[in-house]
A = this chain, B = another copy of it.
């Protein structure tokens, strides 16, 4: 009889219970998998539990949002594969704690159907001036602003990864022209064209909507500062699907207050949760959602575990992994 492969479901205290991974979900994912997999046994353990290190050392794989750095760094056991329940990895940087024999995969792509739909909504919200109406409502003002249909408008999206491509598809549903901006400028399905940041000047100066979907790295931190907002055309709409740290929030508030931007929609802020005394709450022509655009409580964990099951098979078979995080690129 083959010994069951042990998996550890690492539970971080900051995670919402609806994103806790359960042994039942692992069993369901194993049953869904179309690749050969050994028998498995999954155990839940909080990352600050005294038994965590011992549980980890008998586990082949772990899934979770955050892991105890020193414990994982000291791993001498069977541990071979970490599966993140997030696409972003900035909360794990720098990767000096990750032993070379342990592979790390993220949940990139899991969010795509939800993000695509959210992006469709955000483009329409920006186009129809809903942020302006919400601000007028706070002030008890009936303040008309008109819009034609959205077809043919132009969206520029920073980032052409899984989230950026899903946003592009959300724009394409509405007939938008969609330009991606990435360092490589490699063509990606869903974008009409992809250009480098250095070549994006003319695009940014005339795009109707500018959207962020880039990872937060030392290079992208604060990329949307006053100078960048000044490069957008007057009346543009702005949205951030990436991380709050991409935006200099004071510069965004100023660009909204001056009327340079017509409106903005943020799903991410700095910090999170946004504290009650943040001036961002009262910025005009801004709608804030509390980092939920990517989170589909029905499909999120199952789709993450599908990647995990596939990667367990690949790891056991010596095949290249899906969604492998490169510790030297920070994403």
Would B295 and A146 count as touching, CB distance under 8 A?
yes
Would B144 and A290 count as touching, CB distance under 8 A?
yes
Q: Which of A292-310 contact B (CB under 8 A)?
A: 292, 295-299
Mark interface residues in A270-311 (1 if CB within 8 Å of B CB, else 0). 001110111001000001111110011111000000000000
Q: Is A238 an interface residue (CB 8 A)?
A: no
In the docked arrangement, what's the CA distance between A276 and B117, Å?
Answer: 34
Shortest beta-carbon distance, A14 to chain B, in Å? Answer: 12
**Most chain-B CB neighbours within 10 Å: which of A142, A146, A278, A281?**
A142
Q: Is A27 an interface residue (CB 8 A)?
A: no
Shortest beta-carbon distance, A301 to chain B, in Å? Answer: 12
In the docked arrangement, what's the CA distance between A16 and B140, Å?
Answer: 20
Among B114, B272, B278, contact of A148 (Cβ-Cβ < 8 Å)? B114
Would B134 and A134 count as touching, CB distance under 8 A?
yes
Closest B residue, CB atoms, query A276: B140
Shortest beta-carbon distance, A253 to chain B, in Å? Answer: 14
Mark interface residues in A100-122 (1 if CB within 8 Å of B CB, else 0). 00000000000001100110110
Q: Could you say which residues of chain B place their CB within 8 Å of the CB of A223? A: none
Among B16, B148, B288, B290, contact of A298 (Cβ-Cβ < 8 Å)? B148
User: A interface vs B, CB < 8 Å?
Assistant: 16, 18, 113-114, 117-118, 120-121, 124-125, 128, 130, 133-134, 136-138, 140-150, 173-174, 272-274, 276-278, 281, 287-292, 295-299
